[in-house]
Structure 1
C-alpha cells in the first residue's frame, strides 16, 4: 500500500499539467490562424507559375492584426488567413523584419468575432520553463506540441541598445507549417513566434527556434519605422560584386519583387537566371541596389547606418526612399514610396 501511494503521488503533477494544458489549448486556440500564401515564380523563359505554401500565425488585436514569421509572407502575392471555424479573410503585410523572421499582417476585412491573445514578457522566461506551441505542421491544423525552453540566444548590432534578433531554443516538436505559430507560456501568453528548426533528416530533430515576443513587439508591433518593400534580395559581397561587375564592393541583388508592393510600384526588377555559388542557388539578372538615401550598401556598418538613420527620421521623411540601382550595366535612381 505504501508503494502504491508513492506511485499515485508521483503521477499527480503530470495529470495536473495535462489538465491545465488542455484548458489552455481550448482557451487560446481560437486566436491561432492558418496562413495560406501564393507566390509567383518566373523561370528563365519568362513562364510564370504560382506556388502555394502554408504557415501559422496568431491574432493580437481586435483590429485584425496578426503576427507570423517573415518567411511565411515575405514573397506572397496573395495572403489568406483561416480561423478555427473555417472562416477565411484576405490579409496584407503591414511591417516585416527579415533579420528576426517576424512580420505583422492585417486582415483586409474582419468581423471581429475572434479573441486576440495576450502577449507575455519574454524577458521573464527562463531556461527550463514549460511551453507549448500551436500550429499547422504538414497541414495538420491546430496541432499542439509541448516542451521546454532549452536555451536563449541574442544577436545585437553595434547600435547601442538595438537588438537585431533574439530567439528561444526549444525541444517542442516543430515541423513544416508550424512557422509563424505562437509559443505560449503556461499562463496562455504568447512569448515567441516559431521560426526555424535545425535538422539533418528534414523533419524535427529536437532543436527548434522561436523569435521572442519582446523583440517582435519592438520591431514590427510598436514601431512604425519598419517598412515592407516587397523585395526578396541577397547581400552581394566583394567576390560576388566582382563576378557581376558591380561598380562597388557590395549591394543587394534583387531576387524577386511582390506584385503591387512598393518595390513593384517603383518598377524594380527581380532576376530569373539561376546561378549556383557554394552549392546555393540565387537568381541573377535583376536590379542590384547600390545605395539607399545616398548611403552605399557595401558593408554591415553601412546597412546599420541606414537603419539608424530611419530611426532619426520624421514620419514624413520615411514615406519614400531614394534608391541607386544597377540595371543592365547602367546606374540609375528610382524613388520607392510607401502608402500611409
Structure 2
C-alpha cells in the first residue's frame, strides 16, 4: 500500500507556498482529500479482484516456468539414486552363483513382483521395504532371486543381483547389497522427518506397476499416523501423503522440495474389492530409517533383536 501511496504523490505534487497561509491550508486540505479519495478507490479496485489474479499480476511472468524447471531438475537429480527391484523365482537352482546380472526371467526365472528402493551409500547398499524382498529373505529353496536395476552417476543403466544384508519386519525395512565395482553410484541425500509440516510439498519416485522412473507429486497430508507392519505390529509416526503410491512404489523415496529423502513409500489404502488406491498413502519417516539401517548393515538384524 505504501507503493500505491507513493504513486499518488507522484501524480499530485504539493503546490508551492505562493499563496497566503490561510489559502495554503485550504489548498493542502483539498489536495490531501483528493489523494485520499484516489488512494481509497485504488484500494477498492485491488481488493475486488480474486486473490490468485492479484498475486499473478505481482509475480514475474516466468514464475510458473521456474517452478516447473525446479521439479524437473529435482526428478533428474534424485532419480539417479532410485532403483528398480524385481522379485524372481528360478526354475532350478543354478550350479554357481554369479555376482553379475541375474538370470533372464523370460528363460530361466519367473517374475513374481516388483518394487523400488534407493541407494544408501557408495558401497552398494540399497534400502527398500521388507515386504518387497520378503520371499528372498525367507527363502529356503535357493530359488528366489532379486534383480536390481541401477543407474550410475553418468546415467548408464546396469543390473546386479541383490543379496539380503538385513531386515526389520517391525518397521518393514530391508537392506540389499549389490556389487558396484567399476561404477560410480549416487546415494540419496537424507533429510529429516521430525520437522515436517502438514501442507508442505513432497514427491514420490518409484516404479508403480513396473513403470520405471515415475514421479508423483502431492503434499504432506498428515503426520504421526499408525500403519500395520509385516510382523503384525504397528509402525508409528508414519507420514501420510496424497502423492500417488501404488504397487511397485514400495521402498522408493519420498522427498521434499530440496530433494532430501523424508520417508520410504510403503503403503496405500485401497478401495475394497477393487485394488484401486484411495489416495491415502503412507511412508515410513526417514528418522526411523536412519536409526534402523546402520544396525541392519552391520549386524543384519535390528538393535532390539540382538539381546
User: Could you say which TM-score interval applies, normalised by the shorter chain?
Assistant: 0.5 to 0.7
**Corresponding residue of 1:108:** 179
Deviation at 1:80, TM superposition (A): 1.1
Q: Distance in 2 between matches of 1:172 and 1:6?
A: 26
Secondary structure of 2:123's match?
Answer: coil
**Corresponding residue of 1:241:** none
Q: Is the 8 A contact 2:225 2:240 kept in 1?
A: no
Deviation at 1:40, TM superposition (A): 7.3
1:143-158 to structure 2, matched below 5 A, reads: 143-153=214-224
Q: 2:241 aligns with which of 170, 174, 180?
A: 170
What is the TM-score with the length of structure 2 in the denominator?
0.64
Unaligned runs of 5+ in 1: 42-48, 157-162, 229-306, 314-340
Is 1:35 the equivalent of 2:85?
yes
Q: What are the superposed Cα offsets for residues 58-86 of structure 1, whole Å, 9 maximum, x if unpaired?
A: 11200001111111012122111102433
**Corresponding residue of 1:218:** 291
Call closer, same or farther: CA 1:51–1:28 in 2, change over 3 Å: closer
Call closer, same or farther: CA 1:5–1:149 in 2, change over 3 Å: closer
Q: Is the 8 A contact 2:86 2:146 kept in 1?
A: yes
Q: What are the superposed Cα offsets for residues 179-223 of structure 1, whole Å, 9 maximum, x if unpaired?
A: 111111111111111101001031222111111111012122345
Deviation at 1:9, TM superposition (A): 4.2
**Corresponding residue of 1:290:** none
Q: Is the 8 A contact 1:67 1:180 kept in 2?
A: yes
Q: Distance in 2 between matches of 1:203 and 1:50?
A: 25
Relative to its length, the structure with more helix (as a share) is 2
Is 1:81 the equivalent of 2:167?
no
Q: Distance in 2 between matches of 1:130 and 1:100?
A: 24
Q: Distance in 1 between matches of 2:183 and 2:236?
A: 31
Is 1:26 the equivalent of 2:86?
no
Is 1:69 the equivalent of 2:129?
yes
Call closer, same or farther: CA 1:20–1:57 in 2, change over 3 Å: same
Q: 1:52 aligns with which of 112, 132, 135?
A: 112
Q: What are the superposed Cα offsets for residues 37-69 of structure 1, whole Å, 9 maximum, x if unpaired?
A: 12479xxxxxxx955211111112000011111
Q: Is the 8 A contact 1:63 1:112 kept in 2?
A: no
Larger Rg over CA atoms:
2
1:1-340 to structure 2, matched below 5 A, reads: 7-9=56-58, 14-39=64-89, 50-76=110-136, 77-84=144-151, 85-153=156-224, 165-200=236-271, 201-222=274-295, 224-227=298-301, 308=304, 310-311=305-306, 313=307
Aligned-residue Cα RMSD (Å) equals: 3.0
Secondary structure of 1:29's match?
Answer: helix
Q: What are the superposed Cα offsets for residues 262-318 of structure 1, whole Å, 9 maximum, x if unpaired?
A: xxxxxxxxxxxxxxxxxxxxxxxxxxxxxxxxxxxxxxxxxxxxx75x45x4xxxxx
Call closer, same or farther: CA 1:164–1:172 in 2, change over 3 Å: closer
Secondary structure of 2:162's match?
Answer: strand
Deviation at 1:16, TM superposition (A): 3.3
Deviation at 1:36, TM superposition (A): 0.8
Q: Is the 8 A contact 2:295 2:301 kept in 1?
A: no
Call closer, same or farther: CA 1:225–1:8 in 2, change over 3 Å: same
What is the TM-score with the length of structure 1 in the denominator?
0.58
**Corresponding residue of 2:18:** none
Q: Is the 8 A contact 2:225 2:239 kept in 1?
A: no
Unaligned runs of 5+ in 2: 1-45, 92-108, 137-143, 228-233
Q: Is the 8 A contact 1:58 1:66 kept in 2?
A: yes
Relative to its length, the structure with more strand (as a share) is 1
Mean alpha-carbon deviation: is it higher for 63-72 or for 11-20? 11-20
